[in-house]
Amino acid sequence: MATTYRQLAYDLLTILKQNFNDKEITLSHCVYWLSVYGDRLLAQHIQKHDTQAYLQVFPQVPVYKDTVTQRQYIDIPASVYDFDLDNGIDYISYPYQVDINSFAYTRFTRTTPSQAFRLYYTDEEKPAPDNPYWYRADAPRIYLLGLECIDVPFVEVGLQVAFSNIPCDLDEEIKFPLELVPILQRQILDLGRFCLMIPADRINDGDYDVANIPKQKIISVNQDAQAQANAQITE
């Protein structure tokens, strides 16, 4: 059975006994906690398992040109996990001299701004339409090298989209490993219970309340040692 964001959030509210009118924890709190803790768990799951179950493909991401540098770039259409070596971006491709319905698109190779200049030193590595490169800078931009001589309006991008991209419609199916849902719930419930344990702010209403004023003298933990030291000095 598919689980939705709304079902999971209201389940947390019910367990926390916060389903009355003047509740302290709202649905927005639970949805936010779902995004934060779910992000962490899903990132660990993807890194531990060689799976493409949570890969999202964006087939037509528009290509722009920077008005200052004249470099071509795309804007990442969704937040991705910041994995090592930019592995949150699984691939970037475009149909160059290939049937548009084929998976044999020309793939871009990752590079970095500090290493890109070296590529132009050899003909084998030089960026070209059949040997394009990409590098990430000025997030959420991804710059494209090798397409300067041709017109490429769109590229296809495969991304490991972060779980925190929660849709506006909370009734959508949650894209999350079901075996990790109990762990996600437990972490959020621990946080919720901790929030409920914090006492409310006291309001200064002008009432002289002496109930919470301590009756006993407040003694420092070092007072005995200080008293002994003062006695030795006096002698």
Residue 178 region by backbone torsions, left for phi larger than 0, else alpha for psi between -120 and 50, else beta: alpha
Which class for 152: exposed (0-12), middle (13-18), buried (19 or more C-beta within 10 A)? middle
DSSP state of 174: P
| 178's tokens | 């079901």
**Does 109 lie in the same domain as 183?**
no
How much of the chain exceeds pLDDT 90, in percent?
A: 38
Confidence band of 228 (pLDDT split at 50, 70, 90)? low
pLDDT confidence tier of residue 218, bands split at 50, 70 and 90: very low
Looking at the structure, tell me whether residues 123 and 189 fall in a common domain. no
203 in a domain, yes or no?
no
Q: Which domain holds residue 186?
A: 5-50+164-197
Question: Do 140 and 174 belong together in one domain?
Answer: no
Residue 200 has pLDDT above 90, yes or no: no
- Does 220 reside within a domain? no
SS3 content of the chain, % helix, strand, coil (to 5): 35, 20, 50
3-state secondary structure at position 46? helix
- Tally the domains of the chain: 2
Confidence of residue 13 (pLDDT cuts 50, 70, 90): confident
pLDDT of residue 199: 65
Q: Is residue 21 part of a domain?
A: yes
Q: Token pair of 187, please?
A: 């972490």
The mean pLDDT of 189-217, rounded to a whole number, is 63
pLDDT computed for residue 132 by the predictor: 95
* 136 and 176 together in one domain: no
Tokens of 31: 């949805």
Domain check: are 26 and 78 in the same one?
no
Secondary structure class of 209 (helix, strand, coil): coil
User: For residue 56, how many C-alpha atoms fall within 13 Å in the half-sphere facing its CB?
Assistant: 17
Pair 41, 179: CB distance under 8 Å: no
To the question of pTM greater than 0.75 for the whole model, the response is no
Of 17-31, 68-82, 105-119, 123-137, which gets the smallest average pLDDT? 17-31
Please tell me whether residues 152 and 70 are part of one structural domain.
Answer: yes
77 and 139 co-located in one domain: yes
Residues 139 and 91 in one domain: yes
Residue with the two structure tokens 């006993």: 216
